[in-house]
Amino acid sequence: MKKKKDNIFTQWVLDNRFSVGLINIFLCLVIVLIFNKVSFVLNPVKTFMWAILPPVILALLQYYLMNPVVDWLEKKFKVPRTVTILLIFALVICFLVWMINTLIPLLQHQIQSLIDNWPSIWKNASEAVQGVLKDPRMGTVRASIDKQLASLQKNMSQIGDKAIGNALSSLTSAVNVAATVFMTLFTAPFILFFMLKDGHELRPYLVKFAPERWEKATSELLHEVNAALSSYVRGQMSVAFCVGIMFFIGYSIIGQSYGAALAIFAGCMNLIPYFGTTIGLIPSLIVAAVTSWSMVLKVLLVFAIEQVIETRVISPMIVGNRMKMHPVTTIIVMLGAGSVWGLWGVVAGIPLYAVLKIFVSRFYNYYRKVSHLYNDDGEAAETEAKADLGEEQKGK
């Protein structure tokens, strides 16, 4: 029997990848337009989500750090999860008490001293740069840098005046921020407790809502998303902690001023991939330039040693290539997310991209499987069906 020839509409629209792709994009844009028109209906949902998001995110970050310990003790030594969780909470409380009594006063003193002395530090650093630029051969560069310094000083003064005015005029907003911070710190431990206690039951519970034939695929999808997020959070937090410790040890050895504050700042900035450590180095170089040029060389030496240890030992051992992202892709995602959401986009852009990539790749694979637009898949399926039919006929 001859196969019926498809008409032009079927060939150019229904069985054409490009046309189907355009139709899908058009439908997505229509859905976005509809949601935009009825956004007032979703405003309560948006307000609710913004209210619960901070404590949930804080609890989720701690969950990914603590859950491996809870799982290991439960599987290895049969320790009840509740007992392990309470023990971890007790250790965290002891650590916080130690920080409040020991580390916080030291950091407060260094940070306050750094803020008080920053004008003189900036002035001395500017004078040091001006001294280097007095060379006649640096005339063109000197004029350009003088212009940039004057513009920067003017902008900083304007920003300071504007910030003071905004702070005085937005007291209500400051109170709301303080209340949000308090509620986040108060509710996050309770959310974390139940995440650690019952988190392993969440995936089977969510799978029940999927159709029966999709339960296995849904379970695999949730497992893959959880693995990607946990790998990123544990890796970045662990590397940032190690970077802060290394800088603290290095700054203590060379006698860098405000070493503890600068080390913690460098560790926090390390949460920004690729550029974070370099950004954290800039304040340290400015402080070192005021002290002496030999201190600048020592700081650069500490930075070089830290980079070798981080890139050769710590990052490959802790993070590896679990995210499976090319460096160019990472930089593009950071730039795009940063331009849209600022600093939070730079920090959260990569895990969001990883989750989105998992959803898109699985949807694409499913679409290839059920669609007739991919001839290779269709021919393979037809060949397999013919082979099965031939075996059945032989059996008869």
What would the DSSP string read from start to end of 168-182?
HH-HHHHHHHHHHHH
Dihedral (CA of 105, 108, 114, 115) sign: negative
Question: Looking at per-residue confidence, does 390 or 102 come out higher?
Answer: 102
pLDDT at residue 85 in the model: 95
Where does residue 342 fall: left (phi above 0), alpha (psi -120 to 50 degrees), or beta otherwise? left
pLDDT tier at 257 (50, 70, 90 boundaries)? confident
Angle between helical axes of 39-77 and 171-198 (0-180°, round to 10): 40
Of 104, 65, 101, nearest to 232 by C-alpha is: 65
Cα–Cα distance between 70 and 79 in angstroms, integer? 9
Asked whether 233 and 266 are in contact (CB, 8 A), the reply is: no
For 359-396, write each residue's pLDDT tens digit.
Answer: 999 988 888 887 766 655 445 444 554 444 444 444 44
Angle between helical axes of 39-77 and 81-98 (0-180°, round to 10): 100
CA distances from 304 to 79, 162, 314, 368 (A): 44, 39, 14, 48
For 107-155, write each residue's pLDDT tens digit.
Answer: 778 877 877 787 777 777 777 666 666 666 555 656 666 666 666 656 6
Q: Report the pLDDT averaged over residues 327-333.
A: 84
Q: Report the pLDDT averaged over residues 38-64.
A: 87
Q: Which contacts qualify for 332-337: CB closer than 8 Å, 24 or more apart?
A: 334/272, 334/273, 334/274, 334/275
Pair of tokens at residue 358: 């998992």
Cα–Cα distance between 386 and 368 in angstroms, integer? 20
Asked whether the predicted pLDDT for residue 168 surpasses 80, the reply is no
pLDDT at residue 385 in the model: 46
Cα–Cα distance between 344 and 275 in angstroms, integer? 15
Asked whether the predicted pLDDT for residue 322 surpasses 70, the reply is no
Asked whether 284 and 251 are in contact (CB, 8 A), the reply is: yes
Cα–Cα distance between 272 and 21 in angstroms, integer? 35
For 171-218, write each residue's pLDDT tens digit.
Answer: 455 567 677 788 888 999 999 999 999 988 999 999 999 988 889 999
Residue linked to tokens 């240890």: 309
Question: Model's pTM, two decimal places?
Answer: 0.76
Please give the mean pLDDT across all residues of the chain: 81
Of 290, 266, 289, 288, nearest to 279 by C-alpha is: 266
pLDDT at residue 218 in the model: 92
Pair of tokens at residue 118: 């920053």
Helix/strand/coil for 396: coil
Asked whether 122 and 286 are in contact (CB, 8 A), the reply is: yes
pLDDT at residue 341 in the model: 85
Q: Report the pLDDT averaged over residues 82-86.
A: 95
pLDDT at residue 145 in the model: 63
